[in-house]
Amino acid sequence: MTLTVERRAAVLGADELAALDARWRAANYLTAGQLYLLGNPLLTEPLRPEHIKPRLLGHWGTCPGLNLLHAHLNRLITARDLETMCVWGPGHGGPAVVANTWLDGTWSEVYPDVPRDGAGMARLFRQFSFPGGIPSHVAPEVPGSIHEGGELGYSLAHAYGAALDNPRLLVACVIGDGEAETGPLAASWHANKFLDPVHDGAVLPVLHLNGWKIANPTVYARMPEEELAELLRGYGHDPLFVSGDRPELVHRELAGALELAVDRIRRIQRTAREAPAGAVRERARWPVVVLRTPKGWTGPEEVDGLPVAGTWRSHQVPLSTVRENPRHLRQLETWLRSYRPDELFDERGRPREAVLAQVPRGSRRLGSSPHANGGLLLRELPIPPLESAAVRVARPGAGTHEPTRVLGTLLTELMRATASRRDFRMVGPDETASNRLDEVYEATGKEWESAVLEVDRHLRHGGRVMEVLSEHLCQGWLEGYLLTGRHGLFSSYEAFVHIVDSMANQHIKWLRTSRRLPWRQPIASLNYLLTSHVWRQDHNGFSHQDPGFVDHVLNKSPEVVRVYLPPDANTLLVCADHVLRSRDYVNVVVAGKQPCFDWLDLEQARAHCARGAGVWEWAGSERQGGEPDVVLACAGDVPTQEVLAAAWLLRRELPGLAVRVVNVVDMARLLPPEEHPHGMPDGEYDALFTRDRPVIFAYHGYPWLIHRLTYRRAGHGQLHVRGYREEGTTTTPFDMVVRNDLDRYRLVMDVIDRVPGLAVRAADVRQRMADVRFRHERWIREHGEDLPEVAGWRWDAD
């Protein structure tokens, strides 16, 4: 069996061909210039060692291909008047995209100190990979980009995220054959099954095979072309192949392939958009372009007798000792002059007309797409009044609700309010219903383009819930969606959000950097709802227990990260409202889906969340004006329940003891103000936690986080933290807290152990607490259920 590998050459006029080629040469020249030159940018004199950068840090290999694609995308946009943005996936593609944005004028618009002339070119060259300058990857500093090319693997997911709910937009996505080997990229190909041709724009992936990584051939480049065609067809795409190393032929083939791809995209969109409402439609086979050109194309063919262009030796700088080695210096000069810079730039260093002939106008330019500076397009989210979802709380602990289900009501209203605007989406790995947010399906469906069976529920073209069993894809989609000026929420099992640790890192880094760029407008925050959390893995056990994402995130730039642990349904609503309105943050909200006591009514919840941490007077037993004997602090829904049960026990067993209950919602409040914008001053901290009384802190996650946040506080020596310590597995809710010494009885024992003088006075109480824990051990082994007195406990019971 043979598969046809489809190719199509365009008919290009001599002018068009000349313009494409001049443009490409100009970009290649500017790329090489950035890698090498400190002075003499226009080669107005022979190259001398002092014109060369002292440290040669760039990567040439991937750039000629990116420059070729930029030239061709310009042509395509101009010819078809397309609204286009591009995601540049390959690593170290920075200098290519920088060169092109400078040529198109967008670089100088956002950085007026780097004008589009000889002086600007000199600055452009100098700043690249130079201290205080710009990095080697397509970083936030690059106008037109929403994607850092550094880590590899997320380009295609970002592109799909950008295309969602942008029906007029074409998102080109250049995928390097290195990054194509990563898991996230491999999974992203299936994103075509979640793209609605009516409401969404199109993604045009361009798989660029230059054949090599740092030191190895790539898997994709060494696949027989027929096998690669099968793979891409298997992924649901319609591949178009372009390959060669003769520029003129490649120009024709690439132009032809891109035209054909756009024609097919338009046909798919037209068919879907013009179909009668309710018509059954087949999943579309979107085009993909496979471009095979040599790595380091147009660079030195051979250096020191070894082949370079077309091999892994082009990965970094093809000539590596230019300052020291006169032969390399001459070879560099020959290479640079091979682009004929005098044909490309006038005597003042401005690009000549031929180079700019196909540059699109204004915001059609890839460097100035407003989608790639999403904050420009961002609209305030119409969040419904929280009253629409809030639960009534007549008195603390009288009722229970599943917090995430209550949030689901708010999200349903929000889905309704954004039904026509289409700028809010929820993503998650097959868990929206499991996480009890499924009321949203009354307002929208799950986007699904594959076949639908009668038994299916909530699958819908144009649904704004995105579910796929890949946290990478969920995160990538959402990032792309947010970066292009929309809003969203990622709900995940708490343990498995670690799957995207590294993606979260990179997004936080992106925000940290873009916040420092005045021309980048603020975007909606990336909001995580972590639920099905560590304390309730009754179904799953140890493999699903991990509260460490909070620790991971709190290591990152404090100007970007925020962590909230609402203790009940209404506080979750307030936190959700807050994070959805916020900008340029990564917010982590941890909340349970299991029934949880309602502690605060909406008004109290608002006041409490506004403070971020506060005393729950109603729960404690302090005398007014005095200092408590002990502080019981808590953060997280399960720890809060155990602390309140401990306070309840203490009130009954040791009625004279002055207990203060403090609840923390916003974890960064525990930090000093110089370490986090939310940090509270020492005076405020002392007023909550005292300077010298024992504090028993029941925390949702790893206990040392609390120590790390508070180690500078006055009372730190008196702070005793209980939290998760990797114990427990498939078991009951109460047994989980017992295994980890976070249970109410243990907390009461901690209080007795730590309040001076109490150990002797309350020895009998301590013994009774120990007895209950012992009784629990036997009971649970026998019955598989919690002790009736625990399962039936209520704050408002006698």
Stretch that binds a second copy, among 249-257, 258-266, 491-499, 678-686 (CB under 8 A): 491-499
Q: What is the CA radius of gyration of the chain?
A: 30
The answer to whether residue 234 forms part of the interface with a second copy (CB under 8 A) is yes
Task: Candidates 44, 216, 388, 767: give the one binding a second copy (CB under 8 A).
Answer: 216
Burial of 518 (0-12, 13-18, 19+ CB in 10 A): exposed
The answer to whether residue 584 forms part of the interface with a second copy (CB under 8 A) is no
Cβ proximity to a second copy, 440 vs 609, nearer residue: 440
Task: Candidates 453, 625, 626, 764: give the one binding a second copy (CB under 8 A).
Answer: 453
d(CA 216, CA 259): 33
Helix (H) or strand (E) holding 586: strand 586-590
**Residue 468, by phi and psi: left (phi above 0), alpha (psi -120 to 50) or beta?**
beta
Q: Could you say which residues in the range 409-438 bind a second copy, by CB under 8 A? A: 430-434
d(CA 572, CA 84): 39
Helix (H) or strand (E) holding 175: strand 169-176
Q: Could you say which residues in the range 66-105 bind a second copy, by CB under 8 A? A: none
Task: Candidates 353, 627, 785, 789: give the one binding a second copy (CB under 8 A).
Answer: 785
The answer to whether residue 324 forms part of the interface with a second copy (CB under 8 A) is no
Cβ proximity to a second copy, 645 vs 705, nearer residue: 705
Cβ proximity to a second copy, 29 vs 549, nearer residue: 549
Helix (H) or strand (E) holding 705: helix 704-710
The single residue listed with the structure tokens 């591009």 is 86
Task: Candidates 326, 382, 541, 677: give the one binding a second copy (CB under 8 A).
Answer: 541
The answer to whether residue 543 forms part of the interface with a second copy (CB under 8 A) is yes
140, 514 contact by CB (below 8 A): yes
| DSSP class of 318 | S
The answer to whether residue 791 forms part of the interface with a second copy (CB under 8 A) is no
Q: How far is the CB of 457 from a second copy (least distance, A)?
A: 8
Q: Could you say which residues in the range 683-702 bind a second copy, by CB under 8 A? A: 702
Task: Candidates 496, 515, 618, 773: give the one binding a second copy (CB under 8 A).
Answer: 496
Could you tell me how far CA 774 lies from the centroid of its own chain? 46
Q: How far is the CB of 693 from a second copy (least distance, A)?
A: 18
The two three-digit tokens of residue 504, written as one number: 């979260």
Question: What sign does the CA torsion over 670, 673, 675, 677 have?
Answer: positive
Cβ proximity to a second copy, 322 vs 499, nearer residue: 499
The answer to whether residue 181 forms part of the interface with a second copy (CB under 8 A) is yes
Cβ proximity to a second copy, 519 vs 711, nearer residue: 711
The answer to whether residue 233 forms part of the interface with a second copy (CB under 8 A) is yes
Cβ proximity to a second copy, 125 vs 339, nearer residue: 125
Q: How far is the CB of 670 from a second copy (least distance, A)?
A: 12
Task: Tell me which amino acid residue 313 is.
Answer: R
Stretch that binds a second copy, among 267-275, 393-401, 497-505, 657-665 (CB under 8 A): 497-505
Q: How far is the CB of 191 from a second copy (least distance, A)?
A: 10
The answer to whether residue 287 forms part of the interface with a second copy (CB under 8 A) is no
The two three-digit tokens of residue 688, written as one number: 């909550």
Q: How far is the CB of 372 from a second copy (least distance, A)?
A: 18
The answer to whether residue 158 forms part of the interface with a second copy (CB under 8 A) is no
Give the helix, strand, coil percentages of the chain, each rounded to 5.
45, 15, 40
The single residue listed with the structure tokens 């190719």 is 7
Q: What is the 3-state secondary structure (H, E, C) of 706-768?
A: HHHHHCCCHHHHHEEEECCCCCCCCCCHHHHHHHCCCCHHHHHHHHHHHCCCHHHHCHHHHHH
| Number of other CB atoms surrounding residue 526 within 10 Å | 27
Q: How many residues bind a second copy (CB under 8 A)?
A: 125
The answer to whether residue 245 forms part of the interface with a second copy (CB under 8 A) is no
Cβ proximity to a second copy, 59 vs 693, nearer residue: 59
Q: Could you say which residues in the range 293-312 bind a second copy, by CB under 8 A? A: 307, 310-312
Q: How far is the CB of 791 from a second copy (least distance, A)?
A: 11
Q: Which of 233, 295, 249 is nearest to 6 (CA)?
A: 233
Q: Could you say which residues in the range 105-144 bind a second copy, by CB under 8 A? A: 129-137, 139
| DSSP class of 396 | T
Task: Tell me which amino acid residue 169 is.
Answer: L
Q: How far is the CB of 680 from a second copy (least distance, A)?
A: 17
Q: Which of 75, 77, 79, 125 is nearest to 99 (CA)?
A: 125
Stretch that binds a second copy, among 220-228, 240-248, 383-391, 406-414 (CB under 8 A): 220-228
Cβ proximity to a second copy, 118 vs 558, nearer residue: 558
The two three-digit tokens of residue 621, written as one number: 């037993």
Q: Could you say which residues in the range 550-569 bind a second copy, by CB under 8 A? A: 551-552, 555-557
Helix (H, G, I), strand (E, B) or coil at 460: strand
Task: Candidates 65, 93, 120, 184: give the one binding a second copy (CB under 8 A).
Answer: 184
How far is CA 596 from each of CA 396, 406, 456, 746, rounded to the nearest angstrom?
Answer: 12, 11, 31, 21
Stretch that binds a second copy, among 39-47, 336-344, 449-457, 605-613 (CB under 8 A): 449-457
The answer to whether residue 450 forms part of the interface with a second copy (CB under 8 A) is yes
CA 226-231-236 angle, to 5 degrees, is 125
Q: Could you say which residues in the range 597-616 bind a second copy, by CB under 8 A? A: none
Q: What is the 3-state secondary structure (H, E, C) of 64-82?
A: HHHHHHHHHHHHHHHHHCC
d(CA 446, CA 464): 6
- Pairing state of beta strands 400-401 and 596-597? antiparallel
Task: Candidates 44, 49, 50, 214: give the one binding a second copy (CB under 8 A).
Answer: 214
| DSSP class of 316 | S
The answer to whether residue 714 forms part of the interface with a second copy (CB under 8 A) is no
The answer to whether residue 792 forms part of the interface with a second copy (CB under 8 A) is no
d(CA 200, CA 197): 5
Q: Could you say which residues in the range 498-527 bind a second copy, by CB under 8 A? A: 498-499, 501-502, 505-506, 509, 512-513
62, 296 contact by CB (below 8 A): no
Q: Half-sphere exposure (CA, 13 Å, Cβ side) for 239?
A: 23
Q: How far is the CB of 380 from a second copy (least distance, A)?
A: 30
Helix (H, G, I), strand (E, B) or coil at 88: strand
Q: Could you say which residues in the range 456-485 bind a second copy, by CB under 8 A? A: 456-457, 459, 467-473
Helix (H, G, I), strand (E, B) or coil at 42: coil
Q: How far is the CB of 22 from a second copy (least distance, A)?
A: 30
236, 190 contact by CB (below 8 A): yes
Q: How far is the CB of 50 from a second copy (least distance, A)?
A: 11
Q: Could you say which residues in the range 718-777 bind a second copy, by CB under 8 A? A: 726, 729-732, 735
Task: Candidates 704, 753, 768, 795: give the one binding a second copy (CB under 8 A).
Answer: 704
Cβ proximity to a second copy, 56 vs 79, nearer residue: 56
The answer to whether residue 6 forms part of the interface with a second copy (CB under 8 A) is no
String marking each residue 42-61 x if it binds a second copy according to CB under 8 A:
-----------xxx-x-x--
Task: Candidates 80, 281, 461, 707: give the one binding a second copy (CB under 8 A).
Answer: 707
Q: How far is the CB of 193 from a second copy (least distance, A)?
A: 6
Cβ proximity to a second copy, 21 vs 151, nearer residue: 151
Q: How far is the CB of 375 from a second copy (least distance, A)?
A: 21
340, 452 contact by CB (below 8 A): no
Task: Tell me which amino acid residue 470 is.
Answer: S
Q: How far is the CB of 359 from a second copy (least distance, A)?
A: 28
